[in-house]
Structure 1
């Protein structure tokens, strides 16, 4: 009976010791095994693991990708136009031993503070090397990649990896908005005036070319018309000459009849000439009868 009373507490103590020696590593985390504050083991594989009871302790860290939104900061690009910028970073712990040595017992909270400083410094360095138009453009991917690479190099000493950095806002300070917008408007108006001037110049060139083409075409048409008219007159005169050669008297008679018809039209036609004018030869001569 005495032995039974001794075995039961011993079994309970042994079970408690066994339970304190075992721990489970979740697939979403990494575990450090510490002995008197010194790193003795790193457990990254999910499953059951063991430690020395009452001597060793464990510290759990996230193995997932973590987010870090930064506070808005003012930066001065290459053209001295101040901008308000904030960013969003994603990071993860890659080296537990270095991470523990860098941040100590404060863990991820201390890492966030140090990463925030690293990312802000990287943003200022990269955006300070380009004009504000590049920062405010639609395609900022090259800038964000440069910020990420610079922050990744600096954060390697913390045992973490900066996976990505995204600029979430790039605005002008409120006190500079009115003057900046006025300057931008003036620049756009100047560009518009230049474009209008170039358009008017081009229009004048086109109009001058069109006018020159019209003159050339009109001159060519008139020349061709004069040539055709001259050829027609020559042909007409040839016909007249041929008709005159065949019967001069009859030719003169028909020409006089045509002249009478054109001049003696109905109406108030008046003609003033001498009675013995040659115009009426065929009206008064025997040949007219």
Structure 2
């Protein structure tokens, strides 16, 4: 009974020690076996691995491709046109041992802060060596490649491999943006004023042409009407002359009746004249006997 009492705690301790000496390396990770803070073993293959309990510890790092956003960065290209650039990088831990030696217990958080500094410095250096038009053009892919290649060598000292660097957004600073918008607005307003002035000028030409055409048409119409009126008067006079030559007495009688109709109209004013005048010749002539 005493022997069992002693053996059971020992067995529990041995089992606990055996379990604590075994660890699993995930396929998405790389592991370091540390002994008193010093790297003893690097475990990169997934599966079971062993360590010395209580003396050694295991630290795992992500082996996948990671992304890092680089905050807004203000740069000044060669043409002094200031720009605000947002970028992001894709990277992975290539050498976990060197990574541990570079960042110590700071881990991935410290490494990303140092990577930010590298990316910011290289972005300023590369984009500051070209004009803003180059940054905003399709050639920016070449500039991103230059930033990545420059960052690779510096990130290698951290045990990191920079896979890609991309510029997400390239804008003007807020103050410059407002000034640029104001300048663009003034330019568009000037163009609009020019277009309005040209339109008014064209409209004046059209109106002048229309007025001239109206004058010409009215003049032609009046001239043709005068010609037609003259020709009609000539025909009328010819008819009157023919009628007068055919029967002079009847023609005089007809003309006198027309004069009566015009003079004795009810709308005319009162006329005072002698009844013996020639105007009443036909009114006072005695009718022939029936």
TM-score in terms of structure 1 length: 0.62
Cα 1:11/1:29, change in 2 over 3 Å: same
Counterpart-to-counterpart distance in 1, 2:151 and 2:41: 29
Q: In structure 2, what is the equivalent of residue 27 of structure 1?
A: 27
Q: Aligned ranges for residues 161-240 of structure 1 at < 5 Å?
A: 161-181=161-181
User: Offset of 1:74 from its aligned partner?
Assistant: 0.3
Counterpart-to-counterpart distance in 1, 2:92 and 2:135: 27
User: Offset of 1:6 from its aligned partner?
Assistant: 1.6
Ranges in structure 1 where 5+ consecutive residues have no aligned partner: 189-289
Q: Aligned ranges for residues 26-175 of structure 1 at < 5 Å?
A: 26-175=26-175
| Root mean square deviation of aligned Cα | 2.1
Counterpart-to-counterpart distance in 1, 2:184 and 2:125: 25
Q: What SS is found at the alignment partner of 2:20?
A: helix
Counterpart-to-counterpart distance in 1, 2:151 and 2:24: 34
Q: In structure 1, what is the equivalent of residue 256 of structure 2?
A: none
User: Offset of 1:180 from its aligned partner?
Assistant: 3.3
**Residues paired across the two proteins, number:** 190
1:57-87 superposed Cα distances (whole Å, 9 cap, x missing partner): 1111000111100110100001000000010
Cα 1:187/1:153, change in 2 over 3 Å: farther
Counterpart-to-counterpart distance in 2, 1:138 and 1:182: 26
Counterpart-to-counterpart distance in 2, 1:92 and 1:6: 51
Cα 1:147/1:57, change in 2 over 3 Å: same
User: Offset of 1:3 from its aligned partner?
Assistant: 1.4
Q: What SS is found at the alignment partner of 1:152?
A: helix
Ranges in structure 2 where 5+ consecutive residues have no aligned partner: 189-290
Q: What SS is found at the alignment partner of 2:53?
A: coil
Q: In structure 2, what is the equivalent of residue 17 of structure 1?
A: 17
Q: What SS is found at the alignment partner of 1:158?
A: coil
Counterpart-to-counterpart distance in 2, 1:82 and 1:88: 20
Cα 1:77/1:184, change in 2 over 3 Å: farther
TM-score in terms of structure 2 length: 0.62
Cα 1:82/1:57, change in 2 over 3 Å: same
Counterpart-to-counterpart distance in 1, 2:44 and 2:127: 38
Q: What SS is found at the alignment partner of 1:70?
A: strand
Counterpart-to-counterpart distance in 2, 1:175 and 1:136: 19
User: Offset of 1:178 from its aligned partner?
Assistant: 3.7
User: Offset of 1:35 from its aligned partner?
Assistant: 0.4
Say which one has the larger Rg: 2
